[in-house]
Amino acid sequence: MQKVSELPYERVDGKEVVKRINECTQKAKLALSGEELVKLREECLKPISRFSTMANLAFTRFTLNTRDEFYCAEKDYYDETFPKVDAEFVKFKRAFTENAHIKEAAKLVNPLVIKQYELSAKCTNDKTVPLRVEENKIVTEYSKLMAETLYEYNGQKIPLASLRKYMADTNRNVRKAAYETLGKTLEAISDKLDDIFDRLVKVRTATAKALGYENFVELGDNLMGRISYNRDMLRAFRQNVKSDIVPAVAKLKTQLGKKLGINKFMLYDNDTYFENGNPAPVLNAQEMFEAANKMYHDMSGETGEFFDMMLKSEAFDVFPREGKWGGGYCEQFTDFKQPFILANFNGTSGDVDVLTHEAGHAFASYMSFVLEHDQDISLGMETAETHSMGMEFFCYKYMKDFFGDRADDYKHYHFFDAINFIPYGTIVDYFQELVYQNPEMTPAERNALWNRLEKEFHPWLNSDGIPYLEKGTRWQYQAHIFENPFYYIDYCLAQSVAVQFYFASRKDYSSAFEAYARFVKHGSQKEFPALVSEAGLCSPFENGALKEIAANAVKIIGG
């Protein structure tokens, strides 16, 4: 087994990929049977799979060191080339679905292939290629800016990933000082942040207009591959968050404030749940990996095999350093059948979450390779995030190994934080919807909008007096808004399902985990509502689903 660091990288000639796709497209137009169409699809997918594998490998190595000139150039190459490859692939998809023998072909492939191909045709054309290339360049500009910006705290210049440790410190004054550092540093680069986002809104709006959309909102949803729900359903979900989840969290926050002696929750208090501080791991990094290995082997044979593979292939990079991308993610290199996890350990409970949340993603990728799923079917991110968030809850059983005597505190904090997150994630999505419906907004108007939504969905929270952030700029360090528009609501949908797995596990852990494992093994091969239903859970779009979640949360957390 190869180590991830040793996976061979080679730039894939985009022109050659486009040429091979075009050849398949021309043949698909003339195909005389469904079987021939399916074979042409398999032929077409081979160069695309290699292209995406190398693009992902280049991106990963860029994020490991955004100052690496070679991989920075390689990422730029794929950013410029991918839209051309994608546009050509869409032409094949049209030829495939418009062929006279499509009904015969539809019997030979997963029905989701046809649905996703039809949706893809609405997302790109030759006119949008230069616009998408420009968008990719601007996104990279933001990623590099945030990765390379250092925050001066206590006489040291540190990356944001390291500052976050102080933002969650036990001492309220330390948290406040860390947030002040964050605000002042962001203010120093505010002109760049505003300019980058202005350009992103304009280029995304232009792309939508070129495809015949009124604005970027519908296109953004389509780019997320949403085939089983639409924006109206998301608006209804948002309203239910406001009417059911927000009052529950407000009640719980009021109770928490009394325990902590905090009369007014400030932004720097939002992640604090205990007077003596949130629980931190009692293990060092090496010990945490050993505990995680033990945990996954006890959980099931498949999870044990998965974690062995991750350790042997050294598929983790978890320590922060200058120039490293500041977030966390799970990537996969399809041709090598290899998942990979990037994170930034900082000594908080978030380090353990990497070994549960991101490992949940990686386990799902591993199973899709083992079960030889059709990799051409895109995994809806609401499904992918249910994989990871669900895994977090099933790991509760093992938290004593990571947190010692504070294991129960961790579970309390983690569940409370999961419910607390839903209103925030809803703000992020709502903010983007309104921004893209009104693309001429000024930076000041966008910030005012953010503050208005905070008051609507976070009535217990205040940012007054925090430099820069009080102006409504919290959104500027939420990378998804810049890099992955309209992704964030998927976290909320997933959390609404994941907490139901938690409720089920409290009654019968074994049967709940079996249902979760089936959910994961279906991967991208079924639509989200069907997966939720088959797991015996309520769809987050179902009437009363969030009301029940809120009631259970108040009972578990407040009780």
Question: In sequence order, which residues have a C-beta less than 8 Å from that of residue 454 and are 6 or more positions away?
Answer: 427, 461, 463, 472, 474
pLDDT confidence band for 178 (50 / 70 / 90): very high
CA distances in angstroms from 123 to 43, 84, 219, 430, 488, listed in the order given = 23, 13, 7, 22, 19
The per-residue pLDDT of the chain, averaged, comes to 95
- What are 485-498's pLDDT values in tens digits? 999 999 999 999 99
pLDDT at 335 over 70: yes
How far is the C-alpha of 363 from the C-alpha of 195, rounded, in Å?
Answer: 39
Mean pLDDT of 352-379: 94
**Cα separation values, 24 from 30, 43, 312, Å:** 10, 7, 38
pLDDT at 244 over 80: yes
Distance set, CA 536 to CA 237, 500, 522, 533 (Å): 20, 9, 15, 5
Q: What is the pLDDT of residues 16-69, one digit of tens each?
A: 999 999 999 999 999 999 999 999 999 999 999 999 999 999 999 999 999 999
Is a pLDDT exceeding 70 seen at residue 83? yes
Predicted pLDDT of residue 327: 79
C-alpha torsion sign, points 133, 136, 140, 141: positive
pLDDT confidence band for 102 (50 / 70 / 90): very high
The yes-or-no verdict on residue 117 having pLDDT over 80 is yes
The reported pLDDT for the residue numbered 180 is: 97
Mean pLDDT computed over 378-384:
91
Mean pLDDT of 203-232: 96
Report the pLDDT averaged over residues 187-207. Answer: 98
- Higher-confidence residue of 334 and 323: namely 334
Mean pLDDT of 184-210: 98
End-to-end CA distance of the chain: 49
Can you tell me the distance from the alpha carbon of 108 to that of 39, in angstroms, rounded to the nearest whole number? 10
Q: Which pLDDT belongs to residue 559?
A: 66
Give the contacts of 440 (CB within 8 A, at least 6 positions apart). Answer: none
CA distances from 388 to 393, 429, 491, 497, 552 (A): 9, 20, 10, 11, 21
462: its two tokens: 């205040």
Going 290 to 330 to 61 to 167, the CA torsion angle's sign is negative
- Average pLDDT on 421-427 reads 98
* Gap between the Cα atoms of 195 and 138, Å rounded: 10
Confidence of residue 558 (pLDDT cuts 50, 70, 90): confident
- CA 37-41-42 angle, 5° bins: 120
Residue identified by tokens 């992103």 is 200
Task: For 263-302, write each residue's pLDDT tens digit.
Answer: 999 999 999 999 888 999 999 999 999 999 999 999 999 9
pLDDT value of residue 403? 98
